[in-house]
A and B are shown apart, each in its own frame.
Chain A
Amino acid sequence: MKAAAFDYVKPDTVDQVIALLQTHGDDARVLAGGQTLMATLNMRLSEPLMVIDITGIAALRGIERRGDVLRIGALATHTQIEESALVKQHAPLLTEAAPHIAHRAIRNSGTWGGSIAYADPAAEWPACLLALGGTVVVQGPRGERRIAADDFYLGLYTTALAPDEIVIAGEIPLARPGQWHGLSELARRHGDYAIVGLAASAQRQGAALSGVRLAFMGVATTPWRARRTEQLLEGKVPDAATQAMAVASLRAEIDPLPDLTNTPETKRHLAGVLLQRLLASAHA
């Protein structure tokens, strides 16, 4: 199908975007990589009167180290993150996750900010942001706000972003020596959204783990942290006994939503399999 007619503007600054959002309200949509928005327009799931193309705003580009965080601009593409030496050094979980996002032609256009803002519960970037304890930087008429990833995802495709705000960057604390991370996901075909996925991080204290964060994809209305199981793992060596205990805890804690082909029971089982695999890799 083809998109319905709309007006198109390509502002140069974030302030212009915010002014346009305030004037046009729900009749307007922000266009970044377009890899989700264009599909919904083509299928006429959405018929905005105005499309605001933000890809001309230089201030939203770039990946840089700022103090003790890695700041990734909203317009950094999935491919740029995949190939960035800075990301590999300071947030290697993202380097590992990037190839799981769709396919190359889509990664060349799709953006970090678009994925964070769209908030698909099965998408990689929101889960990674949560697993790494990241922060979403947004800008609106009242200036800039920083929102912890933990507080950003509120419900299905629903975030703490106000209608007249946009995501301008996402910040990740720099990986410290001894940081462990892992990503594992099951998809029907490489590049498809995860049926169930898990992004995890922790600090190594000798052979033990501390500060464990387990962020699951594809199980809830938002990316979801298994907090009880995280706590259970605190200070533990992830040996076979701990793995078994953690998997049992997770399966009791998790309450997955079904999708078209997988029941909650299947997803509960798969989540445990992924956790077991990642903990085994942390122990190796």
Chain B
Amino acid sequence: MADLHPLHVTVNGQAHRCSIAPRTHLVDFLREDLGLKGSHLGCEHGVCGACTVELNGQIVRGCLTLAVQADGGSVQTIEGLSQSGVIRDLQQAFVARNALQCGFCTSGMLMAAKELVETRPEATRAEVREWISGNYCRCTGYHAIVDAICDVLRQRKETQA
């Protein structure tokens, strides 16, 4: 059996020290060890995006990242983003536009949408579509999700002006 490795990581602003098997990927660590069940697992090979979390300020596939690789770093999950209020407008737009039904994809969608609205404030509707095509949704048909993200891009631009 492989040895456990020390892991020192800040998750949603809170420091954790523990030991972990190297094969554990980041989302299993968040869900099973920390009880943060907002990040989901669909495919576990990088395709569906349900596991998307922020590592050191950028979104990553939590199923293709080892928990030990987050050592010394900081992770934001949907729980942290919800509590801090940084994506309240995105969450409200998702509700207003009926952009979530079962909600399985929603945490990953919001993670991806957050990086989009922060890094591409001028994104067109076509670019929004391309960007979120990396996250699978089985319920909404995407249209409502694209609408919600476009609403937020517009609102954020207006409040900036």
Contacts and interface: CB of A to CB of B under 8 A. Distances in A.
Interface string A31-54: 100110011011100000001010
A103 B133 contact: yes
B59 A8 contact: no
A34 B21 CA distance: 17
B25 interface: yes
Interface residues of B, number: 33
B59 to A, nearest CB: 4
Interface residue tally on A, bucketed by range: 20 to 34
B61 interface: yes
A42 B51 CA distance: 14
A284 interface: no
B60 to A, nearest CB: 5
Interface string B55-87: 000111101111011000000000000000000
A35 to B, nearest CB: 6
Contact of B134 (A42, A55, A79, A191): A191
B61 A105 contact: yes
Contacts of B2: 5-8
B4 to A, nearest CB: 10
Contacts of B107: none
Contacts of B61: 35, 105-106, 109
B21 A39 contact: no
A2 interface: yes
Contact of B44 (A6, A42, A105): A42
A105 B135 CA distance: 10
The binding surface of chain B is classed by DSSP as: mixed
A5 B45 contact: no
B158 interface: no
A232 to B, nearest CB: 35
A69 interface: no
A228 interface: no
A27 to B, nearest CB: 12
B69 A53 contact: yes
A34 B64 contact: yes
A263 interface: no
A190 interface: yes
A106 B65 CA distance: 10
A109 B116 CA distance: 16
Given A38-B66, A105-B60, A106-B134, A43 B1 contact: no
A109 B131 contact: no
A120 to B, nearest CB: 14
Contact of B69 (A2, A3, A34, A39): A34
Contacts of A53: 66, 68-69
B115 interface: yes
The 10 A-B pairs with the shortest beta carbon distances in the complex, nearest first, are A103-B134, A8-B22, A39-B45, A38-B64, A3-B23, A105-B59, A108-B58, A5-B2, A190-B130, A7-B2
Interface of B: 1-3, 5, 21-23, 25, 28, 44-46, 49, 52, 58-61, 63-66, 68-69, 111-112, 115-116, 130-131, 133-135
